[in-house]
Structure 1
């Protein structure tokens, strides 16, 4: 395997991906002749069940467009760790932040099913989810994408130029809460909101959307990473600050009488919320 391929190989960041990695490690241990055969067989079957789910889901789901595939490839090939090695006080960007094929196709389905025309994305990264949703919009639809990092905003904009749907996307480069307040003040309203940004600000995004008219009366909120590597349901000592923030967010949403929601075990968790 080439050095480039190893460098660009994504690390597991979903509960299922982490489980597969741990099962693979245990399975290698069972190669020792002292391990009972039935234990090794059971572990092998557990590994095959877990490892096969995501590849199978992707194989039988509608394939991504050439523009989305090109964007994903460009994101994987970008040397994020080298480019931002000096950013001690800024979020570390990495290819694992990409929404990806399965979640992108899910968001496209939600756009079609909801009939959304105005979409707000809080946290864009290199633009995969924004472009996926734009592909499902009618010609007069639009995506307003919030991104705090100017480099990735320009990275995404260059990718959007390669798609006939890229013109539906406008990028706001600023801290997300600042952009949300500006949009609310301008009287903007959105049919669908996708949140995938600073986990510690999820509760603030949620409250601002509901306390203003940013979320249309019949609108939906989709929230990414609401399982965050399994941390929200693991013991507190195994939670990072982001894991604790997501656990608190999930509880706030569950306790809010203004909404109803469902948390789907898609990749790293995707919560669908609607105002009741």
Structure 2
């Protein structure tokens, strides 16, 4: 494995304890299957000062598999950043078709930072999938409440992905359970928070402490929620998959 080009992604993102093993997984199973436009967006995002916020490519590959397995057609994303997971979803799900001559929007994407979204927007446009996306520049809870005011949205979404402010994850979960259809799936990112959830508090960097506590409480909350089937997986920064029962 000598003389390899440095991957356009920080291997520190992974929870595997040897960077060499994580890099092996990326180079053997993830990068060879990653669409070129996603590689391009990942490389651009690496230059962003908050590049650590991007969806890990191994978690993204798993997400694409889940999208296919549940045959997702209508999805929602809370927390978009530069749009890696958004582009991945748009490339994975089918066209929405037309109703009364109007294109059906497949993906509702919510984020308070349109500037970050616009970094990836040219690549989304190049991919020819912008028409699948309804980007809503807003805090998530008001946008979710607005969606729920329309009875046609309740119980109609196939899939959700949440990678936003961790303190509101439980609040987002309650709203998403109203939006998801039975059997629908939502994935929460960063639920292991760099592995800090299992560290002694004295070993956790101060910058991670508050969100560590939030993650621990959210993980307990999901484990006790009889409305969903769950699985927590050490991909990227830890993801938890919930299937609405």
Q: Give the structure-2-normalised TM-score.
A: 0.84
Q: Which residue of 2 aligns with 1:255?
A: 224
Candidates 76, 84, 91, aligned match of 2:46: 76
Q: Distance in 1 between matches of 2:59 and 2:227?
A: 26
Q: Are 2:162 and 1:206 equivalent residues in the alignment? A: no
Give the unaligned 5+ runs of structure 2. Answer: 1-5, 97-104
> How many pairs are equivalent?
223
Q: Distance in 2 between matches of 1:66 and 1:121?
A: 22
Q: Are 2:57 and 2:236, in contact at CA under 8 Å, matched by a contact in 1? A: no
Q: Which residue of 2 aligns with 1:265?
A: 234
Q: Are 2:63 and 1:113 equivalent residues in the alignment? A: no
Greater relative contact order (Cα 8 A, min sep 6): structure 1 or 2? 2
Partner of 1:15, secondary structure, is coil
- 1:3-37 CA distances to partner (integer Å, 9 max, x unpaired)? xxx9x984824433xx4xxxxxxxxxxxxxxxxxx
Q: CA deviation at 1:101?
A: 2.3
Q: Distance in 1 between matches of 2:122 and 2:81?
A: 13
Q: Distance in 1 between matches of 2:120 and 2:134?
A: 11
Q: Which residue of 1 aligns with 2:195?
A: 230
Partner of 2:185, secondary structure, is strand
Candidates 24, 29, 38, aligned match of 1:56: 24
Partner of 1:161, secondary structure, is helix
Partner of 2:82, secondary structure, is coil
Moved over 6 A (4+): none
Q: CA deviation at 1:54?
A: 1.7
Q: CA deviation at 1:159?
A: 2.6
Closer, same or farther: CA 10–54 of 1 in aligned 2, 3 Å: closer
Q: Are 2:102 and 1:146 equivalent residues in the alignment? A: no
| Residue correspondence of structure 1 range 160-199 to structure 2 within 5 A | 160-187=124-151, 188=153, 189-199=156-166
Q: CA deviation at 1:53?
A: 2.0
Q: CA deviation at 1:155?
A: 2.1
RMSD: 2.1
- 1:39-63 CA distances to partner (integer Å, 9 max, x unpaired)? xxxxxxxxxxx22222222223242
Partner of 1:193, secondary structure, is strand
Q: Are 2:228 and 2:242, in contact at CA under 8 Å, matched by a contact in 1? A: yes
Q: CA deviation at 1:157?
A: 2.3
